[in-house]
A and B are shown apart, each in its own frame.
Chain A
């Protein structure tokens, strides 16, 4: 197909005649023919040689060319071949003057691109009759071309991509929407292989397989499908395709696809889906927080009795009393105190703990934590602390930092199988916008970021979405309480902080603790 700016500049409405170019070195003949042809309304241009003729084809824009076979310089056959290769090429109607009647020579001329012959000596009657015959063909061709452009205009105004492929997968048609989406002109894409030109490498094979399957007659999976396309600028678009099959006299000759660019739609859907998931998670964390708060309250009341009465009994028992009874009471007391510790952790999940806060610089705190963590780690493990960067102060209880980092480092240690390096680092984030992985709220603020990096087994998405819930653990029964991360969540959110988790399975995890920055303190 030819773009509108490259089509033949004919104008059938205002000029009834054709634009005819005569290429002949016989000047007298040229003038004679020109008069005859202009007489019946045609517009005529004259060139005295093949070279001159070719030079003026583009500017004159003929529909019909009369060319002499025998000329000095380029002969008619050469001119024919060259014309066919020119911009107007296939649309020209070329007639050749000849004295030959040898069949082989005439066939040669047809092969070179001639459409008809006018035998020399030329008679006006024959010339005009043959031009009229040529004109009929030219008008038909123009009609076809006009209809074709009209059809293409319809295709161009629809807001879907219309794509035609032949059975080899070569592009036979692409409408305006398709061209705009992909960033190519139709001319650039026509004839090139669809699969190799615009499909991303990773989905070429499966889509080509689907296509070949369809070519061989199995259309089952081709009714609706989605593919990604790569535009000229390397951008990815997601397209939903519907297809119909083109039959040419009973045999399959190609496919016509209509495609909708659903990139944005899908993105919006995904964002909405994500938002609703975050909302659900946030509500769940809230509910779990309320529940644990309630349980903690009641447990503390019960424990108050357990511990208090045990102490009363311990005091009531004289030093000379039953040694076993003393041991039993001590054990009850120990268990009570252990339960108290557990409930404290639970409560830090449900409401955070605002005791003992001070505006501190984290680097020295982190150095402390590093020293205290050494015994927790095995000999084959290293802890690297990068706290040199100057960061603003944060309002925290340093003990909480110890607890949080210890919990996270123990997890990192376990994920790394007790070997490797854990990195702790501090960073100032002047403006960070994201969605918290534990409370699922969106935030945008200034933070000091404390991140714990490991090169361990990584955490799956499913686990990340649940791992801050109290009692959620992936460790073996008895190995973890499922409260470590719940405590981190509670404490950090008590500070109005947030948590981000980045993890790749088999590569490692980075937990980013975000502390709000203290100003004017």
Chain B
């Protein structure tokens, strides 16, 4: 059981992740962009952030970079559809480069999420 911050601009995805994670008895906090995510991380100090990368306001990469300055041990699982909204640029490898513990390409199944979360939490502890 862990405290997990879910950051995604799409309500559908947030709700889905919340349901999935709650099945494994995790506590889920939701944010809809990088700015909110960054603020909520500071306020609640969750064990793990699951974040989308391409978002309005502040994207996942920027949020990750900002948090790592203050919290070098921040544990992040990046999720993305790969590619940008308007182009072929893939942010997932970038997330890995700037310190995400792991990346998961959308769409993924519950089992894949479960394993990625477990692995990230194990590494963080």
Contacts and interface: CB of A to CB of B under 8 A. Distances in A.
Interface of A: 289-290, 292-294, 296-301, 303-309, 311-312, 315, 336, 340, 347, 350-351, 354
A352 to B, nearest CB: 9
Contacts of A312: 16, 19-20, 110
Contact of A290 (B88, B90, B110): B88
Interface in B1-41: 10, 12-13, 16-17, 19-20, 23
B81 A350 contact: no
* Leading 9 A-B pairs by shortest Cβ distance: A293-B88, A300-B81, A350-B88, A293-B83, A303-B107, A304-B107, A304-B106, A297-B83, A297-B81
A337 to B, nearest CB: 8
B107 A307 contact: yes
A283 to B, nearest CB: 14
Given A293-B83, A308-B16, A301 B88 contact: no
Contacts of B87: 290, 293-294
B85 A297 contact: yes
Contacts of A309: 12, 16
A340 B82 CA distance: 12
Nearest to B81: A300
B54 to A, nearest CB: 7
Contacts of A296: 81-83
Interface in B47-64: 54
A301 B13 contact: yes
Contacts of A304: 13, 16, 79, 81, 106-108
Contacts of B93: 354
B48 to A, nearest CB: 18
Given A296-B83, A351-B88, A301 B110 contact: no
Contacts of B81: 296-301, 304
Contacts of B105: 300
B107 A340 contact: yes
Q: Is the interface of B mostly helix, strand, loop or mixed?
A: loop
A421 B89 CA distance: 40
Given A304-B106, A312-B110, A340-B107, A294 B84 contact: yes
12 contacts: A290-B86, A290-B88, A293-B87, A293-B88, A298-B81, A300-B80, A300-B105, A304-B108, A305-B16, A306-B107, A308-B17, A350-B88
Contact of A307 (B10, B54, B82, B109): B109
Task: Report the interface size class on chain B.
Answer: 20 to 34
Contacts of B17: 308
Interface of B: 10, 12-13, 16-17, 19-20, 23, 54, 79-90, 93, 105-110
B103 to A, nearest CB: 11
Contacts of A354: 93
Chief secondary structure at chain A's binding surface: helix
Given A297-B83, A305-B13, A311 B88 contact: no
Contact of A297 (B16, B54, B108, B110): B54
A347 B19 contact: no
Contacts of A293: 83-84, 87-90
Contacts of B109: 307-308, 311
A298 B85 contact: yes
A297 B19 contact: no
Contact of B89 (A301, A311, A351): A351
Nearest to B19: A312
A296 B81 CA distance: 7
B10 A301 contact: yes
A210 B11 CA distance: 77
Contacts of B82: 296-297, 300, 347
Contacts of B106: 300-301, 303-304
A315 B13 contact: no
Contact of B107 (A300, A315, A350, A351): A300
A308 B107 contact: yes
A336 B107 contact: yes
A351 B106 CA distance: 16
Nearest to A336: B107
Contacts of B89: 293, 351
Nearest to A288: B88
A36 B57 CA distance: 120
A307 B108 contact: yes
Q: Which of A300, A312, A315 lies at the interface centre, i.e. has the most chain B CB atoms within 10 A of its CB?
A: A300
A350 B10 CA distance: 24
Given A311-B20, A347-B82, A351-B88, 12 more contacts: A289-B88, A292-B88, A293-B89, A294-B84, A299-B81, A300-B106, A304-B16, A304-B81, A307-B109, A308-B16, A312-B16, A315-B23
